[in-house]
Amino acid sequence: MLQAQLLVSAGDLGRLKARKESLENRLKSSRTELTQVETHLSMFSDLASGEVADATKKCVLGHRAGVALLQTEFGYHALFRRPGDSFMAKSTFVPRVKFQ
């Protein structure tokens, strides 16, 4: 079995050590910055999740109200909707609500 020998000059070794030290310092700095960012974001995580949950609830309730409106006013039923259909109220439509 042949063993490869790595010949490194003193100048190359010095540059490699300097590069290693530079990379270790960058890594240490990046870890410190990451810890600071995570700490900062964790303060807002509960607030953000609450806002998203509230927005989702509002969206679902709004959609439910919109579908209910389509059902009462236009006779819409989701089971009879086909993919690619677009809802259009035609001029022959007579609303169920009587206006005074």
pLDDT tens for the chain, 100 residues: list them.
444 456 667 778 888 899 999 999 999 999 999 988 888 777 666 666 677 778 888 888 888 898 888 888 888 877 776 667 666 555 455 556 665 5
Collapse the DSSP code of 28 into the 3-class scheme (helix H, G, I; strand E, B; otherwise coil) and give the result: helix
Domain boundaries, the chain: 16-80
In whole angstroms, give the CA distance from residue 68 to residue 62: 10
Among 17, 13, 14, CA closest to 25: 17
In whole angstroms, give the CA distance from residue 81 to residue 39: 49
Give the pLDDT score at 20.
Answer: 94
Give the pLDDT score at 1.
Answer: 40
Give the pLDDT score at 18.
Answer: 92
The answer for residues whose C-beta is within 8 angstroms of residue 77's C-beta and 6 or more apart is 71
Q: What is the DSSP letter of 83?
A: T
